[in-house]
Amino acid sequence: MNVIETRGLTKTYRTYRKESGLRGSLKGLVRRKYDETRAADDVTFQIEEGELVGFLGPNGAGKTTVLKMLSGLLNPTSGEARVLGFVPWERRNAMKRQFALLMGQKNALWWDLPAQESLELNRAIYGIDRSRFRKVVGGLSELLEVQDKMNVMVRELSLGERMKMELISALLHEPRVLFLDEPTIGLDVVSQKRVREFLRIYNSEHRIVTMLTSHYMQDIEELCHRVIIIDHGRIFFDGPLSSIIDRFAGHKILRLTFSEAATRDFSAYGEVIEQTPVSVQLKVARAKVTETCRQLLDACSVSDINVQELPVEEVIRQLFGERTSLRGGAAAAATPSVAL
């Protein structure tokens, strides 16, 4: 069963382009020029019950815009969407009670109140029974290990503790859909790990649909089997995380350990990533891995050899870099040259 469905979802922003100087200001009073930017461009996908989906893209790709439209905070320029059978931008109360949006750079809790009192206010807003409220908050605070911080002012909590409280607030009404926009941004390694563990456990126990955006690839690798990649408002990949490497990675990493010191130049075999007297790491084209291994085994005293895929983070970084270069090249080709 599809819990989230979008078809041709598009959001276009129209911005005024002002010419410089007083002359430009006066011209703008008479005739204004506008630029149009498509923050989301024909976005189409479906997410089923219980899925935890990574939503990836560089800054400005359109991730937050899509999440805001699915949450009803923005009206689309065109296209359709359904969340739990509702049209999000109609903002029906029945839908509001079944989803939550958590943005890592926005505070939902009251800054000058203890976390417990902020949660009490949310309880009153959602009309949650007190016994149910105590059970839910008790379970979530135990999972996140913040039981002893419930009566501390929100402004006095550390960033990691505050984010855990924000998670409790988002899940207080037990939503069926959860949108997470950079939930681990700025957190230390320990807090990131704890939040990831919590999200994994909560998703498996409650079968909640979760869309997660993050610039930390470890969040995505540990939590998401499926990823949707968006760039300049358009989706160009939707599938298993493992398929990203199969589809886009053109190289593999060879790690070799030698039984005696090897002083030869290994650059002829591939890109040297790291080298010591008794080991070397090479970046080799996928099609040449077998032949390169054979050549190295014949040429050196190899005691151990290991072939690994490129890290997903590296593959995606290269992919975005290539797409940016292609767009830049296309723009340059479309711009006529001017003879001086």
312 vs 139, residue with greater confidence: 139
In this structure, what are the phi and psi dihedrals at residue 69, rounded to the nearest 5 degrees? -70, -40
Distance separating alpha carbons of residues 168 and 119, to the nearest angstrom:
8
pLDDT > 90: percent of the chain: 35
pLDDT band at 185 (very low <50, low <70, confident <90, very high): confident
Instruction: Tell me which architecture the domain covering 2-245 has in CATH.
Output: 3-Layer(aba) Sandwich (3.40)
Range in 114-118, 213-217, 247-251 the model is least confident about: 247-251
- Closest by CA to 41, choosing from 29, 54, 57, is 57
For residue 214, what is the enclosing H or E element? none
Residue 37, both tokens = 């930017």
pLDDT at 329 over 70: no
Instruction: Tell me which architecture the domain covering 250-309 has in CATH.
Output: 2-Layer Sandwich (3.30)
pLDDT > 70: percent of the chain: 94
Cα 105–208–129 angle (5° rounding)?
85
pLDDT at 338 over 70: no
The tens digit of pLDDT for each residue in 192-208 reads 888 899 999 999 889 99
Pairing label, strands 33-48, 2-17 = antiparallel
Q: Are 302 and 296 in contact (CB under 8 A)?
A: yes
pTM of the model: 0.77
State residue 309's pLDDT score: 78
pLDDT at 219 over 90: no
pLDDT band at 133 (very low <50, low <70, confident <90, very high): very high
The tens digit of pLDDT for each residue in 283-308 reads 998 888 899 999 888 888 889 988 88
Domain boundaries, the chain: 2-245, 250-309
pLDDT at 327 over 70: no
State residue 208's pLDDT score: 93
Residue 152, both tokens = 């501390």
Cβ-based neighbour number of residue 173 at 10 Å: 20
Chain mean pLDDT for the chain: 85
Give the chain's length: 340
State residue 323's pLDDT score: 61
pLDDT at 60 over 90: no
What DSSP string describes 235-286? EEEEEEHHHHHHHH--EEEEEEEESS---S-GGGTSEEEEEETTEEEEEEEG
State residue 45's pLDDT score: 95
Range in 129-138, 170-179, 239-248 the model is least confident about: 239-248
Q: Which amino acid is at 48?
A: E
Sheet of 302-309: strands edge to edge?
A: 271-276, 279-285, 251-258, 302-309
In this structure, what are the phi and psi dihedrals at residue 179, rounded to the nearest 5 degrees? -105, 120
94-97: which pairs have CB atoms within 8 A and are 24 or more residues apart? 96/72, 97/126, 97/173, 97/175
Residue 266, both tokens = 């290994």
State residue 334's pLDDT score: 44
pLDDT at 209 over 90: yes
The tens digit of pLDDT for each residue in 43-59 reads 999 999 999 999 988 88
